[in-house]
Structure 1
Amino acid sequence: MNLLSKSLCAALLSIAGVASSAHAAVQIVGTRVVYPAAEREVTVRVLNSGNAPRLIQAWADSGDDHETAETSKAPFLINPPLSRIDAGKGQTFRLMFNGAPVPQDRESVYWLNIVEIPTRPDAKSGADNYLQFAVRTRIKIFYRPTTLSGDPASAATQLTWKATQRDGKVALTCTNGSAYNVSMGDVHLKGAANRDNVTGGGMCPAKGSETFLLDGADTGTVAYSVIDDYGAMKERESPYTR
């Protein structure tokens, strides 16, 4: 397992030849993990939609994508940490909080890593030269203390926005006074002519702030899509100050 983690950390790929094709076959059920502090564990389902078995390694990190299973600073244990999923089958991972001290006045954010490694082509297939990729997927883990006040569904209503200029663009700072993180699928200035250049989204952290550098005219209104606990998006608009 140490050897596996080191090789994944280096490049997340293994080369054995000169020609091949690769694609992700393993999919996580859901776009995020919400971990209520009162729960003993939370389960995460992973499916192999490919036509061959996959070796899966799972671990949590603290936000540094260079952390491996061995160097992780996240307060979670995942069982099983290493497994094989046959084609068309699934695997349930158990995510358990280890009791480490974390803030109790807001949600904390960590990341779940799922790495899939395809099996080596059968010698009978004649694939003497091939390129083999290990594909990593990361989704957020929201650790939610039981002491939090308010409602995660209404956290977006507490956001405030302020604009400044930076490098000829509008730098829009979002401040979140709630105890819940607000994830966004898209953030842009209302009426932006070139939607190809708008930000891909992000997150305004609980009791914190985040700045988005946006293209478009300074219209006084920001449009954004808020992602809820289930991965659904709701479009919102808000005025901002200067």
Structure 2
Amino acid sequence: MSNILISFIAVITLFFANLLSYSHASVVMTGTRVIYYEGMKDKTIQLTNNDNHPNVVQIWLDNGSESSANEIADIPFIVSPQIFRLEAKSGQIIRLMFIGNKLPKDRESIFYFNFSQVPAFNEQQHQANKLVLLFNTRIKIFYRPKNLPDDINRLAEQLIFRQSNNQMIVENPTGYYAVVHSAMLISNGQSFKLADSIMLSPKSKTQWKLPSSVNHNAKNIIRLTLLNDYGVDIVTELPLSAQ
């Protein structure tokens, strides 16, 4: 084997070894979403560094556009701190504060909490051959007004599903976002996927396409899996009506 080939293999091995070393986001948030209730002074968010080395963490917010920067996005929140060094095996408390006053009172509003991490190498480590990956994490922030009339614990039962020809009419008449992990149609013992990993906005109506093989005259049901405020799957089976 030539020296050139040996050198090439060594470089590739080093490349993938370092890739595996940094191939997961090790700065994590406690919880899977943030619920910010109207009237709160602030909300604390816990970040933890599971690495054996420090990381530099940067935080920003956006209003639904992942490309928008915190400085230009129209966000009624601020966070502190926005950039910091997080030591190995340690945590950091983030304060999220509401500074707006014009959000709707009859429904939730949604924003996004983002943070990125990059290893905080010392001078000697910077000079070494390392592949460093930048990891971004994006978390939903639900701003929840006071006195919404609907019951968040019975959200699935308040959604309306109707079969109409080859379409499933889906209506969310509540003031809450319904985070759909999955929606399956059960017809004559068969399961058909309708949707997964989507959100139904408050006071909204949408349509899902039904498979052509579905028997519209059968007593069909929908098996709906929603994520609750704690990120836990809640499975509900609902009867369907034809229109």
Q: Where does residue 95 of structure 2 map in the other structure?
A: 94
- Residues 1-242 of structure 1: pairs in structure 2 closer than 5 A: 20-21=18-19, 22-120=23-121, 123=124, 127-128=128-129, 130-163=130-163, 171-190=167-186, 199-213=195-209, 217-218=213-214, 220-240=220-240, 241=242
TM-score, L = length of structure 2 = 0.79
Unaligned runs of 5+ in 1: 1-16
| Distance in structure 2 (CA, Å) of the matches to 1:39 and 1:60 | 18
| Distance in structure 2 (CA, Å) of the matches to 1:212 and 1:182 | 15
SS for the counterpart of 2:160 is strand
SS for the counterpart of 2:64 is coil
Structure with the greater alpha carbon radius of gyration:
2
Q: Where does residue 4 of structure 1 map in the other structure?
A: none
1:126 CA displacement: 7.6
Is the 1:163–1:171 contact (alpha carbons within 8 Å) kept by the matching residues of 2?
yes
| Distance in structure 2 (CA, Å) of the matches to 1:232 and 1:175 | 22
Is the 2:156–2:224 contact (alpha carbons within 8 Å) kept by the matching residues of 1?
no
Amino acid at match of 1:182: A
| Distance in structure 2 (CA, Å) of the matches to 1:125 and 1:134 | 15
Unaligned runs of 5+ in 2: 1-13
Is the 1:203–1:210 contact (alpha carbons within 8 Å) kept by the matching residues of 2?
no
1:173 CA displacement: 3.7
1:67 CA displacement: 1.1
SS for the counterpart of 2:199 is strand
More displaced stretch, 220-229 vs 135-144 = 220-229
TM-score, L = length of structure 1 = 0.79
| Distance in structure 1 (CA, Å) of the matches to 2:210 and 2:33 | 26
| Distance in structure 1 (CA, Å) of the matches to 2:200 and 2:90 | 36
1:140 CA displacement: 0.9
| Distance in structure 1 (CA, Å) of the matches to 2:112 and 2:167 | 27
1:61 CA displacement: 1.0
The number of equivalent residue pairs is 220
1:209 CA displacement: 2.9
Deviations 1:46-75 (A, max 9, x none): 111112111111122111111112222221
Q: CA RMSD in A?
A: 2.7
SS for the counterpart of 1:231 is coil
Is the 1:174–1:210 contact (alpha carbons within 8 Å) kept by the matching residues of 2?
yes
| Distance in structure 1 (CA, Å) of the matches to 2:174 and 2:150 | 8
SS for the counterpart of 2:35 is strand
| Distance in structure 2 (CA, Å) of the matches to 1:59 and 1:207 | 28
Structure 1's 100 and 186: CA in aligned 2 closer, same or farther, altered over 3 A?
Answer: same
Is the 1:27–1:46 contact (alpha carbons within 8 Å) kept by the matching residues of 2?
yes
Structure 1's 173 and 67: CA in aligned 2 closer, same or farther, altered over 3 A?
Answer: farther
Deviations 1:1-45 (A, max 9, x none): xxxxxxxxxxxxxxxx96531321111110111001021111111
Q: How many percent identity over aligned positions?
A: 29
